[in-house]
A = this chain, B = another copy of it.
Amino acid sequence: MTTFYRQPVHVARGEGVWLWDRDGRRYLDCYNNVPHVGHCHPRVVEAIASQAATLNTHTRYVHDLILDYGEALTAKFAAELESMVMVCSGSEANDVALRMAQAMTGKTGIIGTDNTYHGNTAAVSQLNASKVPVGGYLPHVRRVAAPDNLMPVGGDRATQAKAFAEGVARAVAELEASGHGVSALIVCPYFANEGFPTLERGFLDPAIEIVRRAGGLVIADEVQPGFGRIGSHWWGHQRLGFAPDIVTLGKPMGNGHPVAAVVTRHEILTRFQEAFKYFNTFGGNPVSAAAAMAVLQVIEDEALVENARDTGAYALGLLEELAARHDVIADVRGAGLFLGAELWRDGKPATALCAALVDEMRDRGVLLHSVGRHSNTVKLRPPCVFGRDNADMLAEVMDAALGAVA
């Protein structure tokens, strides 16, 4: 695996928003959404330990916990999204979601953005921008220009939604001409890998109308924004104001335990099962269900959506203060505990500077990383137990690190 940072972190212990390396040095974790309710949260640990000691089978038997979890999870969605399949990773979830759309529409074409990542299976990695697959992109995949704050589609933020929809319309026309037809538009509703541009509510509506008119479905990949991270809502698609046909979940769902899910309408799941007879040995096994249930309960009991909203707003304010003092910060944006600062210098995206800042902050005990088309946006996505004192430390260290590297 490729590790993060010039000097990789050799981790040994975690708790809440903190990681310790094997030399006992402490790091403030401003990056990891996997430990969504905090590293090693005792209620999640206890749920895993207790269920692992009681029963952990494959999923050909009936077990109460997966049923209870399915009800608890789907209660967080619109009424028609009442069915769930549990899998092991966000990659598996998106791999299933794409086939659900195929099974439901009888078509194969997929539309994504040109600067995204939805996972690592062969089928899903066809959508990835970071590396052209061996043998090239397959003809059923179309990639449209992703929205952006500083380099908007069509050159103007005011008309970006229309320009994005025009890109989708061109992709639809191409897929219909090639005989694939449109099975789905798949997007992260926060456009996380695209650098989470600031989008008005309803941004996707024109694009979605075009996809639906062509008979396609809409898949919301909630692996990054989901489970309340964005503060204002539980899910990114609620914030952007659209109704997906299929939702995929991943990283934060089990606080690090390998569990993920697809949530959809009953009819879509039925058609998928008729077409594929899908079965997942580990997906939703009793321990996975226990871990996921504990995460849901902790989010509620510790009011972590509210914390994401409040601490996120406070941290955003600190970033804006930094931007006023550091010219290289060209844009500050985000929602809840998913924030960023985009760096530019000499009228260009400051990719190398951003990499240097990431390493400098790691050396100063704060973990974060970069994102976006030019990897020039600092990506802040800490565990949702992140507090104001943590935000203060982040801002102080970023201030000093920018002074050192800019």
Comparing A56-64, A236-244, A303-311, A372-380, the segment that makes contact with chain B is A56-64
The number of times this chain is found in the oligomer is: 2
0/1 interface trace, chain A 5-48, chain B, CB 8 Å (1 if under) = 00011111110000100100000000010110001101011001
B275:A256 contact, CB within 8 angstroms: no
Distance of A123 from chain B, by nearest CB (Å): 4
Q: Verify if A336 is at the interface (C-beta below 8 Å from B).
A: no
Interface size on A, residues (CB 8 A): 81
C-alpha spacing A286/B209, complex, angstroms: 44
Residues of B within 8 A of A122 (CB): 95, 98-99, 121-123
The SS class assigned to the A binding surface is loop
Q: Are B88 and A11 in contact (CB under 8 A)?
A: no
Instruction: Chain B residues near A34: list those with CB within 8 A.
Output: 56-58, 281-282
Which of A126-134, A166-174, A384-392, A395-403 participates in binding chain B?
A: A126-134
Which residues of chain B have C-beta atoms less than 8 A from A256's C-beta?
52, 56-58, 282, 285, 287
Identify A61's interface contact among B9, B53, B134, B273, CB under 8 A: B9
Are B277 and A131 closer than 8 Å at their CB atoms?
yes
Residue of B nearest to A180 (CB): B135
- Given A49-B49, A56-B255, A121-B123: 14 more A-B contacts, CB < 8 Å: A1-B59, A39-B57, A40-B54, A56-B257, A88-B92, A88-B282, A92-B121, A95-B122, A99-B134, A120-B279, A122-B123, A125-B276, A133-B276, A258-B285
